[in-house]
Structures are given as C-alpha cells and as structure tokens.
Amino acid sequence: MSERDLIQELKSTIKDLSDEKEDLLKTIKQKEARIKTVMIKFEHATDDVKSIGHKILDKDKEIAQLKEKLKDKNKIVKKEIDEEVEKYITTHGTEVKDSKEDEE
C-alpha cells in the first residue's frame, strides 16, 4: 500500500471512530436523561409515601380517639340502662318467679 492509501485508510478509520464516539455520547445523554426522569419520579413517589404515612398516622390517632369516646358513651348508656331497669324494678316491685316454683 502506498502512503496515500494508508493516509486515506487512517482518515476513514478516524471518521468512523468519531461517528461512533458521537453515537455513544448521544446514547449516554439519552440514558442520563432517562435516569434523571426516573429519579424525579422516584423522589415524587417517596414524597407521596411519606405524605400518606403521615395521613395514616393522623387517621390512626383519630380512630383511637373515637374508640375511646365510643367506650365512654357505651359506659354511660350501660349505666343509664341499669338505672332505668333498677327504677322499673323498684317502681313496679315485681319479682320474676322461677318456673319450677310456679309448677309447685
């Protein structure tokens, strides 16, 4: 091969390598953009999970408070029912006889 052919071959190789380098750089930029997009989505998802976690915690506290109120209300209602039953028994003065006593 002549020197001229070698120079042409070298120039062709350099051009091919430069084109390949540009393609690789383009691919790298695309992948970096995808990674950035995924990271942003991940950060948003993480923030959403934290937000939901706080909301769940607040709702759990609210549920606990409502359960306590319900227990208190149930105690009051039970007490009132017991008082009314006691009043009824006292007022009417009736005793319930055992069915065995009725048979005798």
pLDDT of residue 67: 96
**Greater model confidence, 93 or 83:** 83
pLDDT of residue 38: 97
Exposure string for 12-26, b = 16+ CB within 10 A, e = fewer: eeeeeeeeeeeeeee
Q: Output the 3-class SS for 24-35.
A: HHHHHHHHHHHH
pLDDT tens-digit series, residues 3-42: 999 999 999 999 999 999 999 999 999 999 999 999 999 9
Q: What is the DSSP string of 50-82?
A: HHHHHHHHHHHHHHHHHHHHHHHHHHHHHHHHH
pLDDT of residue 91: 86
pLDDT tens-digit series, residues 47-90: 999 999 999 999 999 999 999 999 999 999 999 999 999 988 88
